[in-house]
Amino acid sequence: MLKLGQITLDMPFFQAPLSGYTDGAMCSLSRKFGAPLTFAGVALAKSVIHPAVRKKLINSPDSYTRPVGAQILGSEPKVMAAAAVELEKIGYDIIDLNFACPVPKVLRRGRGGFLMQKPDIVKQIYQQVRNEVKCPVTIKLRAGFDSSRESKDNLMQICADADDATVDAVTIHGRTVTQRYSKKANWLIIADIKKIFPRLTVIGSGDLLSGQTAFEAFNASGVDGVLIARGAIGNPWIFEELRALFEGRGTITAPTIAEQGAIMLEHFEMISKSRPAGKAVGYFRKFAASYCKRHRQRKQAQADLMAATTSQQVISAIEKWY
């Protein structure tokens, strides 16, 4: 089990918020295969506080299976708090504060991972959000801004402040901000944080691309839970694998080609209901590329799916290869 404030999950893992991916369709499949909690995509705090923009950008939590969290990105404590209030008001169950995003345009605006260099601002943002909402509030970090001694000290200060404030959970991705997604995630840093701050609920993240890998990382690091991010794209079975491992049932049989095809069709159908036909096809491509990784003739199947320009062509390609 994993306790996040007043919410208790029956398993110590959940699906990460992923910009451009974690919509109602992906989250629905993640829940179907065993994720006890999902997150909607990342939202910019200053957009959330404007009603017209919020209505356009933010899906209603009713389009997800509850509980569902929302993650916000920003650098101004008052704006972050106001956005958290709006998200709680419309029904999101958890608010996650993103201090980890490594995207250059985000860093240039002083948001996301840039704030790993500003422990005092991270503390101020958390305190203002915590004072304004009743739901659990968690924070997302990286293993420092870069590999410097100063960055390590800043990480420790942020975690010490989180420990003092009894933050509901701290998720740490095992790469620095400047590393982005290159090199291997450093799980030793994540494990050290848990040892130094045993009261702190620590969630580990990074390179968890299979159920077995995530299970092993959980056990080796001593963390309270693991966050499944890229490993869940086009692979909802990762949650089924993890649940089986945590329940002591061992490894499970991999989905057959036909089973994979059925889920792809279900996923595309859900996407098609929420988007115009042309946009649904383009949007599904990034999921299709990941789904194809399990196929024995990956390149051929992927080529047909990438070439599809109409809904019927997508369906025909899935039926042909699956």
Q: Are 194 and 202 in contact (CB under 8 A)?
A: yes
Q: Are 314 and 305 in contact (CB under 8 A)?
A: yes
- Map residue 274 onto helix, strand or coil: helix
CA dihedral 75, 78, 80, 83 (to 10 degrees): -150
Catalytic: which of 101, 135, 159, 292? 101
CA distances from 37 to 197, 267, 301 (A): 24, 19, 31
Whole-angstrom Cα distance, residue 74 to residue 92? 18
DSSP per position, 32-101: HTT-S-EEEEEEEHHHHTSHHHHHHHPPPGGGSPSSEEEEEE-S-HHHHHHHHHHHHHTT-SEEEEE---
Please give the backbone phi and psi of residue 235, each rounded to the nearest 5 degrees, phi first. -150, 65
Q: Are 142 and 113 in contact (CB under 8 A)?
A: yes
Q: Give the residue from 274, 283, 275 showing the smallest Cα distance to 314.
A: 283
Neighbours of 110 (CB within 10 A): 14
The CA-based angle 198-204-206, given to 5 degrees, is: 155
Q: Are 106 and 66 in contact (CB under 8 A)?
A: no
Residue 159 annotated as catalytic: no
Which positions are annotated as active-site residues?
101
